[in-house]
Amino acid sequence: MAIGRLDNEVFFKKVFTDKFVFKAFVKDIVGIDIDPNKIETEKSFQPKLGNIAFKYDIFAEDVKRRIVIEIQKVEYDHNFDRFLHYHLQAITEQQRTSEDYSVERTVYTIVMMTAPYKINSKTHEIYKDEVLISNINPKNLKGVERKFFNHELIYLNPNYKNQNTPDNYRDWLELIYESIHNADNPQINLKNEGVKRATEIVSFKNITDEEHEQAKIEAGKRRVIKLEREEERNEIAKNFITMGLDNATIAKGTNLSIEQIEELRNKI
């Protein structure tokens, strides 16, 4: 059964705004049951906080929890900073007066990365983690965590398959990966009812002509962005060259070929 690519925002939002899929996904990834009144896309807060125009891809909440799901296709170092801002915004937005600092809803931000990570420009490391989870609980000097808060920021990246990743993550990571790399015959776990429902929603037979057209427009926008980023990628590679990194490391961090890197070396 052919399905739409879930790195396309049109198909991604079609799938994850389905209440059954949304609840199943959150249950598997976060381990909680949520019953949202509605699931919104392009959510922003009014009045906004600060000078950044925050818009969340998918946003839902119930009386106790606030869930944010983001899809990110082009990976650069600043994305980790960006989604930290998104996560903290969803927390701090709940406190609107100087008299009351309470945060009524626990915030879970889930970021789905669909491209390999780049070399970190600060540490020069290449991250190869399928799942990364961050919370804001403090630790004492002995390293003991004090669980004051339950907020979590979760990064998922299906490009780094790890045999130790639990099935509750694995099923969804494979759904994303297969939709991108094997959309005509995806190898996914249809015994997971949430994944099965997601597959049905985004199967080609259930995608309308209008949705296909919107998806083409979205893909076209991304191609333009990719072209605009090519020059930035070359500049990053030049910086790595001047720092003395070898071709293989630069290639992993920029997705440039060895030939392209050598050509840049010759120009420096």
Point out the domain boundary residue: 207, 226, 242. Answer: 207
- In terms of residue numbers, what domain contains 158? 9-207
Whether residues 86 and 189 share a domain: the answer is yes
Q: Residue 222: what pLDDT? A: 60
Question: H or E segment at 133?
Answer: strand 131-135
For the chain, how many structural domains are there in total? 2
Whether residues 202 and 122 share a domain: the answer is yes
Q: Residue 50: what pLDDT? A: 63
Whether residues 38 and 133 share a domain: the answer is yes
Q: How much is the average pLDDT of 140-146?
A: 95
Residue 2: inside a domain: no
The Cα 25–Cα 20 span in angstroms is: 9
125-163 CB burial, b ≥16 within 10 A, e <16: eebeebbeeeeeeeeeeeeeeeeeeebbbbbbbbbeeee
Q: Residue 244: what pLDDT? A: 83
Neighbours of 104 (CB within 10 A): 12
Whether residues 139 and 223 share a domain: the answer is no
Whether residues 54 and 73 share a domain: the answer is yes
Q: Residue 135: what pLDDT? A: 93
Residue 1: inside a domain: no
Q: Residue 51: what pLDDT? A: 65
pTM, full prediction: 0.78
Whether residues 248 and 196 share a domain: the answer is no
**Phi, psi of 256, deg, nearest 5:** -80, 150
Mean pLDDT (the chain) is 85
Point out the domain boundary residue: 188, 207, 226. Answer: 207
Whether residues 82 and 109 share a domain: the answer is yes
Whether residues 218 and 199 share a domain: the answer is no
Whether residues 250 and 163 share a domain: the answer is no
Residue 120, pLDDT above cutoff 70: no
Residue 3: inside a domain: no
What single-letter amino acid sits at 197? R
Q: Residue 184: what pLDDT? A: 94
Whether residues 155 and 138 share a domain: the answer is yes
Check if the beta carbon of residue 78 is closer than 8 Å to that of residue 55. no
Whether residues 92 and 106 share a domain: the answer is yes
Residue 4: inside a domain: no
- The string of pLDDT tens digits covering residues 19-66 is 999 999 999 999 999 999 889 998 888 766 666 667 888 999 888 888
Whether residues 202 and 240 share a domain: the answer is no
C-alpha to C-alpha distances, 37 to 40, 44, 113, 123, 194, nearest whole angstrom: 10, 17, 27, 42, 19
Residue 233, pLDDT above cutoff 80: no
